[in-house]
Amino acid sequence: MTGSADAALAGTRSERSRHLSVRGPGPWAALPLAAVAAAFTLAQLLLVRPGMGLGWDETVYVSQVSAHAPAAYFSAPRARGISLLVAPVTAWSSSTALLRCYLAVLSGLALYLALRAWRGLFPDRVLTLAGALFASLWITLFYGPQAMPNYWVAMGAWTAVGLFLRAGVPSAGRDRAAPWGLAAGTALMGWMRPVDAVWTVLPLLACALVRRSWQRTAALLAGLAAGVAEWVIEAYASYGGLVHRLHEGSAIQGGLGWHLAVTDQLRSLGGRSLCRPCTGALPSPFLTAWWFALPLLAVLALVLAVRARRPAATALPLACAASAAFPYLFLIGYAAPRFLLPAYALLAVPVATALLRLATAPRGPWRPVVRTLLCLALALHLGAQLSVLTRTVHGTTAAHRVWSRTAATLHRVGVRAPCLVTGDEALPIAFYAGCASAATSGPNTNSTADDIARTARRVPAATLVPAGSRPPAYARGWAWVPAEGRRLYYTLPGRGV
């Protein structure tokens, strides 16, 4: 890293304060950050494509605020933050393409704001590279335009940690608002995934208490309380209390306890959106090399920060990343790549710092060699990310089209709203058809066979059964048609079917 970069990283508290409050950045200084955010939005629209249908979890979140279909069963681990985020679109439009465009633009704006939260702590070129590294991951691009909470937890975490550090620097002007932004970032995490928010905030809270920074402690606790309040109230209103909701959420996730899920996460990096059960061969090292490079670069960044006499700005995001990742690496028995998005975001700035130092530290003839090798490694990394993203988008789109065709079959035989769908993959198919869904077993259990039979005597109903399997007792007298490898049993009350 150059002398000016070292000075920015190693400056004293008073020097950083003057940089933030007296001299301030020029009006165009944040343009590279805006360019990264704009490129991220454009890449989502071009590579993920707005026409990709909604996934299983998305249909649950969207149905809570959609006029298109009844609200699906909302299981204990879920939180309503993402439903409220998409409500401005889904409350009046059923267009998936419009929703994807809305989320792509919103996610790009969130990335820009999260990067701005770190300005003055690191040079802009470090932040630009950090944003580009995070935004170019196939996981980030794939989930940015989706109605899923994990990306937004990442943005809340990235913002909160940056503003936590800035709130500890005495300054005037804009940084007086840092505690408010810290509270907002923490609230966003709690709003989206309360348990994730608690894990991520723990190192920040410990640091604030050790340093007796009561303003930052109050901001963290206020933000966390604001974010999780609705989830806690709902626990007592609908789930039998907070402890019962946590216990039920643990059961749905397979029982939280000691599970070594590191290998599971590696398997998911090949493009498996949900690895449960997580079996099969590991992806090619070409696809996972970046994952093994992360801890090495993080350690290098920490060493550089200690040598520069400002370890907190690097150690704290690393601690939060480790805390956010811990439950998904060691406490659950399955994996999904989106679970680690907050950790990847928090690692981005330290990793970018380490990469820039590697590119600038060598002297003489070694510098162009090292830079060439780094550029080659980054090019191969980007190629791998694009390869996984393209394959994942193709497979996901094909699966969603199966649901859409099954919903069309339901409409063709006369099962239209108000209606009920049960059976194999009933929840997303019911949403596509505009019907309610019901299940008598599994994590989405919300009904009984008797309740379904009574409902089927009043409204059109259908059950989806894998080919070769017998239908449930209540559907054995119903008519059936083939539907995408399944048998679709249906009844139309009052129509003799």
Q: Are 63 and 137 within one domain? A: yes
Instruction: Please name which of 120, 121, 119 lies closest in space to residue 310, comparing C-alpha atoms.
Output: 121
Q: Are 356 and 407 within one domain? A: no
Distance (Å, whole) CA 134 – CA 304 = 21
Q: Are 480 and 331 within one domain? A: no
Flag whether 385 is in a domain.
Answer: no
pLDDT score, position 25: 53
Domain boundary among the residues 361, 389, 413 is at 361
Taking the alpha carbons of 112, 118, 123, 125 in that order, is the dihedral positive or negative? negative
Q: Report helix, strand or coil for 268.
A: helix
Q: Are 351 and 461 within one domain? A: no
Flag whether 372 is in a domain.
Answer: no
pLDDT score, position 11: 39
Match 């605020």 to its residue by tokens.
Answer: 65
DSSP-assigned letters across all residues of 292-342: HHHHHHHHHHHHHHHHTT--HHHHHHHHHHHHHHHHHHHT-S-B-GGGGHH
The residue segments making up the domain with residue 472 are 400-491
pLDDT score, position 278: 82
Flag whether 378 is in a domain.
Answer: no
Flag whether 324 is in a domain.
Answer: yes
How many structural domains is the chain composed of?
2
Domain boundary among the residues 343, 361, 379 is at 361
Domain boundary among the residues 361, 377, 412 is at 361
Match 């993080």 to its residue by tokens.
Answer: 298
Q: Are 157 and 69 within one domain? A: yes
Flag whether 461 is in a domain.
Answer: yes
Q: Are 61 and 150 within one domain? A: yes
Residue 254 CB coordination number (10 Å): 14
Flag whether 391 is in a domain.
Answer: no
- pLDDT value at 220 more than 50: yes
Flag whether 48 is in a domain.
Answer: yes
- What pTM was computed for the model? 0.92
Match 């070292």 to its residue by tokens.
Answer: 6
pLDDT score, position 170: 62
Instruction: Please name which of 443, 473, 470, 442 lies closest in space to residue 456, comparing C-alpha atoms.
Output: 473
Flag whether 392 is in a domain.
Answer: no
Q: Are 177 and 275 within one domain? A: yes
φ and ψ of 134, to 5 deg: -65, -45
Q: Are 164 and 218 within one domain? A: yes
Q: Are 422 and 302 within one domain? A: no
Q: Are 354 and 414 within one domain? A: no
Give the chain's mean pLDDT.
91
Q: What is the pLDDT of residues 420-451, one digit of tens each?
A: 999 999 999 999 999 999 999 988 999 999 99
Q: Are 320 and 449 within one domain? A: no
Q: Report helix, strand or coil for 488.
A: strand
| Contact call for residues 445 and 439 (beta carbons, < 8 A) | yes
Q: Are 406 and 470 within one domain? A: yes
Percent over 90 (pLDDT), the chain: 80
- pLDDT value at 140 more than 90: yes
Q: What is the pLDDT of residues 6-54, one digit of tens each?
A: 333 333 344 344 334 334 455 567 899 999 999 999 999 999 989 899 9
Match 């633009």 to its residue by tokens.
Answer: 105
pLDDT score, position 232: 97
Average confidence (pLDDT) over 213-236: 96
Kindly state the helix (H) or strand (E) to which residue 118 belongs, with its residue range. none
- pLDDT value at 463 more than 50: yes
